């Protein structure tokens, strides 16, 4: 029974093998046809138009608000804090007294020096009286001498009296002359004493001024108008010249300082920079637009102006320092020292840049390409990249190719696209997406913007 069955089975084997080979050959013949049909199918893509807009080269950095005038106030002498006249947060004026130390010793020293000054002035007054007395004595002695001299000469010529009387007249004349010389000497002495009295007055006046300075050191005063941001002493503290008392900040003169790498120096100085609008090439750092915002003040933008650039490069870090003056107030809200800022500086502008969506770019080795849709087919365009924005990038077509405003550029579905491939543009409101498109939208293949400055 088994033998006939086995014979029939073996008789069917050639037929089965032939049939299988025929089907395999048929599948192999149909395979190329199916691939060609797949390649002939239109690629489903999504597009966005080419636009023209202003593009900027912008630098961003994080920095901190500072005041140009900020000082830590310390006492100029030692002593006990007796009185506090200002508190943290107070707006104070230049010269305003903020605190007083114990002034008793300083006031006593000032009073003593004033007494010494008065004594010096009194002595000077006495000297002046002595000088005037000496002047009077000189006048009187001069008259006496001249009278004695006339009497002697007249009687000596007339010889109306005896020789003894003439001798007495001569003695009187000599005595008057000595009195005159003594008066002159007294006057000279009084003048010297007057000059000494004037010197004593100056010395006493200097002592008074020194005592006044010492007394002023017992008061802690504001060297300029501003706001007290910190008070570190209290009544009863025994302070010295090393004690930190107050911190005073001028909120009307705010700055920020930051460092940039030396390769960016040309952007700030205008050396080698090119611009078709406002930028460093037309005025150096003074033409750079600066804006700042703080997370502490959302929605507010503060303008700034680059005030100066350090003339040297730090040899250790290879960077240079930039100082920016900030406006203090916007919409009634003020910046405060210590605030963290996000600073944005526009160093160059291209007013009529050709731009496309960043998602349109694809890298092929060192080349950057995109695909434009013309008459239902994809046209491959190689481009160079310029300034970059948040969603768009400036492009420059190469090899004489044209890229005009309004042209439709593939932004979804360009991963496997080839030049000349037929495409079908899908509307953006179509909710049916392939897995591949979803991946492309989540992580599009882009070329980094060349020299975007961000």
Least confident of 50-64, 263-277, 284-298, 440-454: 440-454
SS3 call for 234: coil
Least confident of 258-272, 278-292, 328-342: 278-292
**Alpha-carbon span 154 to 166, nearest angstrom:** 10
Report the greatest alpha carbon distance in the chain: 213
- What's residue 432's pLDDT? 44
Given the structure tokens 């003169």, which residue do they identify? Answer: 253
- What's residue 118's pLDDT? 92
pLDDT over 90 (residue 451): no
Residues 6+ apart with CB under 8 A from 143: none
Least confident of 50-59, 145-154, 204-213: 145-154
pLDDT over 70 (residue 242): yes
pLDDT over 80 (residue 332): yes
- What's residue 73's pLDDT? 95
Residue 142 CB-density burial (10 A; 0-12 exposed, 13-18 middle, 19+ buried): middle
Q: Which residue has the higher pLDDT, 28 or 376?
A: 376
- What's residue 204's pLDDT? 92
**Alpha-carbon span 320 to 262, nearest angstrom:** 6
- What's residue 284's pLDDT? 60
Give the global pTM.
Answer: 0.57
**Token output for 123:** 């002595």
Q: Which of 292, 300, 291, 367 is nearest to 332 (CA)?
A: 300
- What's residue 410's pLDDT? 94
The domains located in the chain, with CATH, are 44-56+352-442 (2.40.420.20), 59-67+251-350 (2.40.30.170), 72-101+218-249 (2.40.50.100), 104-216 (1.10.287.620)
- What's residue 15's pLDDT? 44
Strand order in the sheet with 79-84: 219-221, 97-101, 79-84, 238-239
- What's residue 180's pLDDT? 80
Q: To the nearest whole number, what is the mean pLDDT of the chain?
A: 81
Q: Which residue has the higher pLDDT, 242 or 5?
A: 242
Q: Which of 277, 341, 273 is nearest to 303 (CA)?
A: 341
Query: How would residue 55 be classed by pLDDT, with cut points 50, 70 and 90?
Result: very high
- What's residue 7's pLDDT? 42
Of all residues in the chain, the percent with pLDDT exceeding 70 is 81
- What's residue 160's pLDDT? 67
- What's residue 184's pLDDT? 85
CA-to-CA dists, residue 243 to 37, 72, 95, angstroms = 89, 10, 20
pLDDT over 50 (residue 136): yes
Average pLDDT over residues 96-107: 95
Q: Which of 79-88, 192-201, 420-429 has the highest mean pLDDT?
A: 79-88
Q: Which of 379, 414, 393 is nearest to 50 (CA)?
A: 393
pLDDT over 90 (residue 270): no
- What's residue 379's pLDDT? 94
Given the structure tokens 């950095």, which residue do they identify? Answer: 61
What angle (nearest 5°) sits at the alpha carbon of residue 250, between those of residues 249 and 256?
90
């Amino acid at each position: 029974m088994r033998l006939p069955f086995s014979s029939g089975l073996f008789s069917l084997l050639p037929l089965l093998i032939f049939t299988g080979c025929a089907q395999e050959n048929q599948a192999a013949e149909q395979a190329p046809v199916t691939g060609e049909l797949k390649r002939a199918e239109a690629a489903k893509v999504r597009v966005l138009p080419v636009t023209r807009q202003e593009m900027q080269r912008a630098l961003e950095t994080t920095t901190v608000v500072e005041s140009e005038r900020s000082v830590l106030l310390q006492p100029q002498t030692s002593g006990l804090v007796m009185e506090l006249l200002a508190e943290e947060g107070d707006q104070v004026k230049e010269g305003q007294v903020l605190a007083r130390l114990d002034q008793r010793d300083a006031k006593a020293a000032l009073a003593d020096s004033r007494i010494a000054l008065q004594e010096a002035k009194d002595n000077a007054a006495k000297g002046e009286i002595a000088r005037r007395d000496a002047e009077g004595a000189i006048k009187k002695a001069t008259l006496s001498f001249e009278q004695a001299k006339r009497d002697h000469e007249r009687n000596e010529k007339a010889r109306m009296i005896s020789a003894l009387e003439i001798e007495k007249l001569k003695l009187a004349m000599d005595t008057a002359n000595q009195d005159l010389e003594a008066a002159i000497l007294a006057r000279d002495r009084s003048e010297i004493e007057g000059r000494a009295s004037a010197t004593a007055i100056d010395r006493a006046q200097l002592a008074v001024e020194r005592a006044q300075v010492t007394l002023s050191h017992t008061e802690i005063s504001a060297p300029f108008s501003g706001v007290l941001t910190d008070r570190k002493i209290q009544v009863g503290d025994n302070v010295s010249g090393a004690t930190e008392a107050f911190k005073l900040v001028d909120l009307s003169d705010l700055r920020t300082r930051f460092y940039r790498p030396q390769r960016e120096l040309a952007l700030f100085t205008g050396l080698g920079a090119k611009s078709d609008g406002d930028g460093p090439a037309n005025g150096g750092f003074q033409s750079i637009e600066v804006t700042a915002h703080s997370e502490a003040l959302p929605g507010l933008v503060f303008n700034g102006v680059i005030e100066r650039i350090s003339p040297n490069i730090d040899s250790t870090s290879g960077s240079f320092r930039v100082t920016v003056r900030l406006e203090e107030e916007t919409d009634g809200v003020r910046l405060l020292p210590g605030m963290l800022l996000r600073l944005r500086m526009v160093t160059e502008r291209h007013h009529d840049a050709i731009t496309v969506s960043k998602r349109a770019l694809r890298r092929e080795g060192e080349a950057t390409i995109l695909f434009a849709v013309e008459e239902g087919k994809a046209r491959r365009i190689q481009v160079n990249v310029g300034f970059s924005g948040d969603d768009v990038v400036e492009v420059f077509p190469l090899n004489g190719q044209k890229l005009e405003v309004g042209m439709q550029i593939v932004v979804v579905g360009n991963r496997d696209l080839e030049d000349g491939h037929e495409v079908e543009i899908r509307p953006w409101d179509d909710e049916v997406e392939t897995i591949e498109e979803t991946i492309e939208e989540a992580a599009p293949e882009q070329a980094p913007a060349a020299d975007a400055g961000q």
